[in-house]
Structure formats: C-alpha cells, structure tokens
C-alpha cells in the first residue's frame, strides 16, 4: 500500500499506526482536522492531481491509483513492478476468470479502505474507528459508475484501467460490445424505474385528492 500511495510502508503494515495523524493521508482524504475528523464522500484522492472538483466532473479521474489497487488485488503486488499483466497461475484474476473491470470493482477500489484508520471490516459495513459507512460509499460509487458507464469520460477511465491491468491479455478479452449492451440495458432499466416511480407518485397524489 505504501508504494501505491507513495508513502512509507510503516503507515500500513502496522495496524495500530495512527494514520489520521499523517498529514499526507489527511490530504488524500480531505480531512482538515485531527480533533474533529470528517470524511468526505468524494475525497481528493479520487480526483486527478488530488484536486477536488466540486462539480464532480472529474471524480474517479485518478484512475492510475485505482488501477494499481485493483492490479495488486487481482494479480498480486509483484505485478505492479512487471511489464506484463503479471501474476502466476494462482492469482485472483485467473482463479476468478477476470478479464476486464466492472463498475463494482472500481467502486470497491474507490472506497480507499487502506487510507482509513480502520483495520477490519465490520459486519455492519461501518468502520469501527472512522465511522465511515463503507457499504453506503460502495453502493453510491457503483450507482454513479453504472449510470454513467457509457459516457465518454467514464469509458476512457475504464479503458485506461483495463489496459493498465490486462495489457498483456489478448484484445479479444475486452468485449466492448458486451459493455455497451450492459450500458444500454442499465439505461433502459433506469428509465423504466423512473417512469414507475412517477406513476406511483401520480397514483398517490390522485388518491390523496380523491380521499375526503
């Protein structure tokens, strides 16, 4: 983790290390105080050059960091220092037959659990020390990515991450047509859900008007 974030390994190898006390980590998370710690929904670490964009137009733009987290998880830490996609016969990418990243995998990496003061996930999905609700963050990030998956900016980020992790894989491994199909299906589902929601709201409104 230290190599990924450009920080000393001791911050991450020692589970008792007070990461909130590290200025560099606070900067990555957008934490401005050590006495009253507040974690941002979209911390600077998710933006290019760590520059927080209030409009959120560039969120997830720090794709290389996300790619490194995913590559280390899928192909092993050693793969970060290899020219190929890396990993041996027992890597998670091979065991799980992973050939391209998904909205869920990017969302998982974006939660940036490694920077938090927490040392383990609780069954509630909320950090014991940080009170960060990782469950909510994951689903929020995933929803944003799924909804915007077919946009040019997110598509560029996805392509960059895929190339970083799987660049030694054959081009046929990346089924862009399949991704487009998923995006179209998702957009149709969202549109239908919106219409259903509007219909339910109209029905409730009509019922309330008709009731004496």
The string of pLDDT tens digits covering residues 47-66 is 999 999 999 999 999 999 99
128 is written with which tokens? Answer: 């014991």
Residue 1 pLDDT exceeds 50 = yes
CA proximity to 72, closest of 58, 54, 86, 83? 86
Whether residue 29 contacts residue 111, with contact meaning beta carbons closer than 8 Å, is answered with: no
Banded model confidence at residue 98, pLDDT cuts 50, 70, 90: confident
Q: Which pLDDT does position 183 carry in this prediction?
A: 57
Residue 179 to residue 72: CA distance in whole angstroms? 24
Residue percentage of the chain with pLDDT more than 90: 42
Using CB atoms within 10 A of its CB, is residue 67 exposed (0-12), middle (13-18) or buried (19+)? Answer: buried
Residue 205 pLDDT exceeds 50 = no
Tell me the per-residue pLDDT of 190-199, one tens digit each, with 9 for 90 and over.
565 555 444 4
As a residue count, the chain comes to 212
Could you tell me which residues are beta bridge partners of residue 89? none
Domain boundaries, the chain: 2-170, 175-212
Q: If DSSP codes are grouped into helix, strand and coil, which group holds residue 96? A: coil
């Amino acid at each position: 983790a230290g190599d990924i974030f450009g920080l000393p390994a001791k911050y991450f190898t020692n589970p008792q290390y007070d990461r909130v006390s590290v200025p560099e980590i606070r900067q990555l998370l957008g934490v401005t105080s050590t006495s009253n710690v507040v974690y941002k929904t979209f911390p600077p670490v998710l933006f290019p050059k760590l520059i927080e964009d209030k409009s959120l137009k560039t969120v997830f733009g720090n794709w290389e960091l996300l790619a490194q987290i995913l590559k280390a998880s899928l192909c092993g830490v050693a793969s970060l220092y290899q020219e190929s996609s890396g990993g041996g016969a027992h890597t998670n990418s091979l065991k799980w037959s992973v050939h391209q990243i998904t909205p869920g995998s990017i969302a998982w990496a974006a939660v940036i659990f490694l920077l938090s003061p927490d040392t383990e996930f609780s069954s509630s999905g909320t950090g014991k020390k940080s009170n960060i609700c990782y469950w909510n963050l994951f689903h929020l990030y995933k929803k944003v990515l799924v909804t915007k998956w077919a946009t040019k900016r997110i598509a560029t980020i996805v392509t960059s991450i895929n190339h970083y992790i799987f660049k030694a894989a054959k081009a046929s491994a990346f089924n862009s047509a399949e991704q487009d199909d998923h995006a179209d299906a998702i957009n149709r589902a969202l549109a239908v859900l919106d219409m259903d929601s509007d219909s339910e709201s109209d029905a409730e409104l009509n019922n309330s008007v008709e009731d004496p």
